[in-house]
Amino acid sequence: MSLKKKLEDRLSGGKFRMINEIMGNKKINNNIIKEYYSYYDKQKMKWKNNPLDWIIMFLKKRKNIRKLKIADIGCGMGELKNKIGGNVDLYDKYPVRDDVERCDMDNINSEDKKYDVIVYSLSLMKDCIGEAIKEANRILKENGIMIISELSSRIKKDFIKNIEKMGFKIKERKMEKYFGIFVFE
């Protein structure tokens, strides 16, 4: 790989991280969203494992996957629904598809206790996730599961403990070099 290509890749990764930080805490325009997904696709190609693939395998192991009502919060391009189909509702602050409902993850337009599964796949980009987790608790059915994948660098020391204080219990965790994946009930 040429020096120029290496430098371009490094700049691309830096710009992706910068936009990622901005998205969680500010309003941005559609041009930046398109740029974000372009950088996101480039970053994904560098990953040894995509956490969404693990989430999909986890869900497909469930016998009743076709009956599960799933909320993909911060769904991005809607890959989860593309790959498993079924009853997946898509929510995002910056929708890029017609079947995605625009909303902030702190205030989801959904009835209480509607979902069997809630997925946050690399989408909890806010500085304070407490309100989002409270909202997840509101729309998740009793005995439902919440799956969170997040960049390792964004997982704070008391991440699990803080989520458990909001009524969830950790059931499974998987830590890799770049990502952590957590299943809560």
d(CA 146, CA 120): 8
- The string of pLDDT tens digits covering residues 15-68 is 555 555 555 556 677 777 777 777 777 777 777 889 999 999 999 998 888 899
Q: Strands of 115-121's sheet, edge to edge?
A: 100-102, 87-92, 69-73, 115-121, 140-151, 179-184, 170-175
Which residue type is seen at 117?
A: V
> What predicted TM-score, i.e. pTM, was given to this entire model?
0.85
- The string of pLDDT tens digits covering residues 125-154 is 777 899 999 999 999 999 999 999 998 888
d(CA 121, CA 103): 16
- Burial class of residue 115 in the structure, from the number of CB atoms within 10 Å of its CB (0-12 exposed, 13-18 middle, 19+ buried): buried
Q: What sign has the CA pseudo-torsion 130, 38, 86, 50? A: negative
